[in-house]
Chains A and B, each alone.
Chain A
Amino acid sequence: MNTKTTNVVIAGLGGQGVLKASDILADAAFRAGYDVKKSEIHGMSQRGGSVSSDVRFGREVFSPMVPPGEADYLVVLAPDQVEVNRPVLRAGGLLIAPDLIGENVLPNRRSLNVALLGALSRHLEIGESHWLDALRAHLPEKLHEANLAAFAIGRKAVKP
């Protein structure tokens, strides 16, 4: 297992499922046996403002916040939130932007958050079964099928 702390920032707009995505990621990392911390500012997210959430996992994590310029991965759900959030990435860090998943690829664009997690999952040392368990645990049953499909689409969007 990787001992260095992995830093992920997920960003978007209120209502896009940023916090749901970071919950799923944090839970998957937890299931994989890492120490995990997840942090965000919420309170007014229903009104369409910017939302971002930090997830950190590794052998032992202290601060729950990704220090500025130290994110290994930045996952962005809204095109207009890419540039504002880019400074959180470290040099050589990876941006996963919403256009990775084409306009009409998803049956429902609401599952973009999960599709981008699928793409992210290709880069992280977290077994796929942990991801699927986390997805099921954080979504109502009637949404499982659509989201598992979205996750698979996201995974396929990244070359192994």
Chain B
Amino acid sequence: MNAPERMLLSGNEAVALAARGLGIALGTGYPGTPSTEILEDFSARGGRAQWSPNEKVAMEVALGAAFGGARAIVTMKHVGLNVAADPLFTAAYTGVSGALVVVSADDPGMASSQNEQDNRRYAVAAGLPMLEPSDSQEAYDFLGWAVRISEQWHLPVILRMTTRVCHSKTIVEARPLAATAPPAPHFERDIAQRVMIPAYARPAHRRLREKLAQIATWGETAPLIRRIDGDRKLGLIASGISYEHAMEAAPGASFLKLGLTYPLPIENIRRFAAGVERCVVIEEGDPYLVEALRAADIPVEGKPEMYRFGELNVERVRRILARDVSPEPAPPRGKPPQLCVGCPHRIVFETLGKLGCIVAGDIGCYTLGVLPPFEAMDSCVCMGASIGVGLGLRHVLPEAEARKVVSVIGDSTFVHSGITGLVEMIYNPPPTGHVVLILDNGTTAMTGLQEHPGTGRTLDHRPTGRVVFENLAHALGISEVHVLENLKDAAALEELMMRLMPSGKLALVIVRRPCLLTAKRDADLAKASGT
């Protein structure tokens, strides 16, 4: 047999490669750093991948595929799992017939996110097995294990990655994966298993706990644990990227590396901890492992609270081991990102700033409208929040202030979770009316120019059905719908806003002009396809 091919791949590419090797029939997701490249690369390698309007829908589509007996993967960033949490929790009860792997890409340190929530908590809360790779080889191997666990116990499995695992390139050997040949999808009726009315859900919850108990037993000796017997004076327990930092910070120590971090191989950990003099847990983010081990009466040392914030690195692990809580040197202050010169969003924030608007903002490139010279954004919470927050402000502020409130949302964000906000606006209109601006630059620019239902093109840029925002607004019964095509004249926008803001009406203004970078991308695509 030939030696397996060796490649230098990012964790995301390694997942995509494994997904192809495993015969994953469908990959779904919504873009979000650091997860985005998984589906793009899966598609580039010939896999069937599609962007959904948001993570909840993506999860449901993948679940349907797995109900049909196929292998499916759904990818998202950590906050995406909040959006998809509703189907996730009950999918743990229904289980799956094929395989379902949920990739959660967490962002400790918030390189490109609005919070640094630790999604290991979701595995516990939903009751789903969780694997944590620490480099690209494991990202590749663990997808195989995730599929195998998913098929053996008929449960969705969470593959929890972090920014450094997703985006670092390390060597991958494309060796055989843990799973068998993919099944042929077909439908088998199983009402009690998939229709979660209380009568069926109660036994389903018990079934879930039984499966988890079985997986915990299996996990005690599974090859997902690596034990390195080094110096008995110091034993380190770690998973994910923290393991790599720890191996470098404490060469020669004893290690217990956990690949399966829910359910935990508690007895294996207990033996390890008992066999070393000082047992320290090295983990990024929340003290998830420390809390679980202490609850199981395993005495371990955790990290000082200051290391909960941000990413770990070799130096921080050294400090944790030295119990050093002295202030850390500030990281170098780089130059912050800015809206590109000539970005279509600029004119909008210049205008809103000039008019003294109270801007309920949202997430995307346009969030940079908060920085100088614009400083024209007053809130940004989560995708879609601009519309609800704007309405709430309009409801309670004194009239003169209320009339200054506008909601600003990008096109991809609008499709993701702004549509229900418009429905709310029609249903509970503030007395002073409201104005929503969609900044339609024809792409999901922030995460690297992905398509979405408003662009009318698929993940791999082929034409498909398109959601037309103005038609949607008309159908909802919004009285003032305005489309500003190729807006280059600030005066036109200013005039319109001055008229709409105090009008007492409900208004949607669509500012439509393509992101600068899509023009270049589209030219490259056209050239590549020879048209």
Interface residues of A (CB under 8 A from B): 13-14, 23, 26-27, 30, 35-50, 52, 61-65, 67-68, 80-81, 84-85, 87-88
B193 cross-chain contacts in A, Cβ below 8 A: none
Contact call A64/B244, Cβ cutoff below 8 A: yes
**Does B189 count as interface, using CB distance less than 8 angstroms?**
no
Contact call B169/A37, Cβ cutoff below 8 A: yes
Q: Name the contact of B245 in the complex, choosing from A26, A62, A84 (C-beta under 8 A).
A: A62
| Contacting residues of chain B (83-136) with chain A, CB-CB under 8 angstroms | 111-112, 135
- Residue total for B at the interface (Cβ-Cβ under 8 A): 39
Contact call B314/A67, Cβ cutoff below 8 A: yes
| Contacting residues of chain B (319-342) with chain A, CB-CB under 8 angstroms | 329, 331-340
Query: Measured between alpha carbons, how far is A38 from B445 in the docked complex, in Å?
Result: 25
Given A44-B33, A49-B338, A62-B244, 18 additional A-B pairs, CB 8 A: A14-B337, A37-B168, A38-B8, A38-B168, A38-B170, A39-B168, A45-B337, A47-B338, A47-B365, A48-B340, A62-B247, A63-B245, A64-B168, A65-B245, A67-B315, A68-B313, A68-B315, A81-B334
Encode B165-181 as 1/0 by CB contact (under 8 A) with A: 00111110000000000
B164 cross-chain contacts in A, Cβ below 8 A: 39, 64-65
**Does B213 count as interface, using CB distance less than 8 angstroms?**
no
B167 cross-chain contacts in A, Cβ below 8 A: 39-42
**Does B483 count as interface, using CB distance less than 8 angstroms?**
no
Chain B proximity of A44: nearest CB distance (Å): 5
A30 cross-chain contacts in B, Cβ below 8 A: 8, 171
Chain A proximity of B527: nearest CB distance (Å): 10
Query: Measured between alpha carbons, how far is A134 from B205 in the docked complex, in Å?
Result: 53
| Contacting residues of chain B (174-211) with chain A, CB-CB under 8 angstroms | none
Best-buried of A46, A63, A68, A85 by chain B (most CB within 10 Å) = A63
Contact call B334/A46, Cβ cutoff below 8 A: no
Query: Measured between alpha carbons, how far is A62 from B335 in the docked complex, in Å?
Result: 29
**Does B43 count as interface, using CB distance less than 8 angstroms?**
no
Chain B residue nearest to A14 (CB atoms) is B337
Query: Measured between alpha carbons, how far is A80 from B335 in the docked complex, in Å?
Result: 9
**Does B401 count as interface, using CB distance less than 8 angstroms?**
no
Chain A proximity of B37: nearest CB distance (Å): 10
B423 cross-chain contacts in A, Cβ below 8 A: none
**Does B399 count as interface, using CB distance less than 8 angstroms?**
no
16 contacts between A and B (CB under 8 A): A23-B169, A26-B169, A36-B170, A37-B169, A38-B8, A38-B169, A44-B33, A46-B340, A47-B339, A49-B335, A61-B170, A62-B245, A63-B247, A64-B135, A68-B329, A68-B331
Query: Measured between alpha carbons, how far is A95 from B469 in the docked complex, in Å?
Result: 52
A65 cross-chain contacts in B, Cβ below 8 A: 164, 245, 313-314
Best-buried of A35, A42, A64, A85 by chain B (most CB within 10 Å) = A64
Chain B residue nearest to A134 (CB atoms) is B8
Query: Measured between alpha carbons, how far is A40 from B33 in the docked complex, in Å?
Result: 13
Best-buried of A36, A68, A81 by chain B (most CB within 10 Å) = A68
Query: Measured between alpha carbons, how far is A27 from B6 in the docked complex, in Å?
Result: 12
Query: Measured between alpha carbons, how far is A50 from B368 in the docked complex, in Å?
Result: 15
Chain B residue nearest to A67 (CB atoms) is B314
**Does B446 count as interface, using CB distance less than 8 angstroms?**
yes
**Does B248 count as interface, using CB distance less than 8 angstroms?**
yes
